[in-house]
Amino acid sequence: MIHKIAAIIVTFNRKELLKLCLAYVGKQTYPPVVVYIIDNASSDGTDSWIHTNGFDGTKEGIEYRYIRMSENIGGAGGFYTGLKTAYEAKDKFDAFWLLDDDGLPEPYQLEKLQERLGERDYLSPLVVAKEDQSRISFGAKPKIQDFLNEKEVKNGMVDNVAFPFNGVLYSRKLVRQVGYPIKEMFIWGDEANYHWRCKENGFSAAVVVDAIHVHPADRQQQETVFGKRKIVVPKQDWKLYCYIRNMMYNIRTLHLFRHPIWYVLQLVFCYFIYFTFYSFNWRSLSIVYRAMWDGVRMDMNRLEAYR
């Protein structure tokens, strides 16, 4: 079956990475009909390069639609804008392929994903680390074979696993039912939020193991408390606030844990210990607690105070 697919790429001040990403997208054995490029008001000459090189029109059989935002609205805002624009377009696309500008889809990736659209509405490639392509890019970065052995491959897919917004293909049916990413989340946690909303709407994810997406390894700054408990500690105030707030928002609105209050209390204690005894910084601790409070109250309007 022929599927009409729209690709959505979000970029911000990473012109060289975007160039490479677009080159890989253009080499797909099953190319998208349209590529939406959502530029979060880049200041590195991205817009000039787009116009000079024809990525605001039709190029080698693919139509490129360039949308430059008036301000940086983050990855969440970019994917919200791109997915909403593509879904509401008169083209009536069958599915939507979401990519960050630093991801590199292998030439056969989209072909492999779209082949399974009749079976699933939520299909993810296998995302491998750019620095070491024998490993998964995210989480504990396990060896690919260990990951596949642990998760179990059935009919070329690993069920109930996905790497959201990293070359993932979402059907039109899914977007109609689930809606769009939450733009106010800005960065971090928006992809997890969308993943769990898909799950709560009855859409089961699957990784197509022969669809490969190359992406830089997870760079989240992790610290260890009590020798075993790991917590994420971004260095910039706004990133710390955004990470914690979005995590609390997800815990508040989604069914992520059996005992959410106990989990939150553990986080409160771990961050207190870390910023009091491991790396003394009461300003950062106050940001953590403000972010927790805002996330629990679902107040998504305070990020600008920390940017």
CATH code for the domain of 49: 3.90.550.60
Which residues constitute the domain of residue 245?
Answer: 222-306
Domain boundary among 157, 189, 215: 215
What is the structure's pLDDT at 155?
A: 92
What is the tally of structural domains in the chain?
Answer: 2
Question: 243 and 207, same structural domain?
Answer: no
pTM value is 0.94
Domain boundary among 173, 196, 215: 215
SS3 labels along the chain: CCCCEEEEEEECCCHHHHHHHHHHHHCCCCCCCEEEEEECCCCCCHHHHHHHCCCCCEECCEEEEEEECCCCCHHHHHHHHHHHHHHHCCCCCCEEEEEECCCEECCCHHHHHHCCCCCCCEEEEEEEECCCCCEECCCCCCEHHHHHHHHCCECCEEECCCCCCCCEEEEHHHHHHHCCCCHHHCCCCHHHHHHHHHHHCCCCCEEEEEEEEEECCCCCCEEEECCCEEEECCCCHHHHHHHHHHHHHHHHHCCCCCCHHHHHHHHHHHHHHHHHHHCCCHHHHHHHHHHHHHHHHCCCCCHHHHC
What is the structure's pLDDT at 218?
A: 76
Question: 274 and 183, same structural domain?
Answer: no
Question: 207 and 80, same structural domain?
Answer: yes
Question: 122 and 85, same structural domain?
Answer: yes
Domain boundary among 198, 215, 232: 215
Question: 200 and 278, same structural domain?
Answer: no
Question: 276 and 189, same structural domain?
Answer: no
Question: 227 and 151, same structural domain?
Answer: no
Question: 186 and 272, same structural domain?
Answer: no
From first to last of its 307 residues, the chain has per-residue pLDDT tens of 789 999 999 999 999 999 999 999 999 999 999 999 999 999 999 999 999 999 999 999 999 999 999 999 999 999 999 999 999 999 999 999 999 999 999 999 999 999 999 899 999 999 999 988 889 988 777 798 888 888 889 999 999 999 999 999 999 999 999 999 999 999 999 999 999 999 999 999 999 999 999 999 877 778 888 878 888 999 999 999 999 999 999 999 998 878 888 989 999 999 999 999 999 999 999 999 999 999 999 999 999 888 8
What is the structure's pLDDT at 211?
A: 97
Question: 300 and 254, same structural domain?
Answer: yes
Question: 252 and 104, same structural domain?
Answer: no
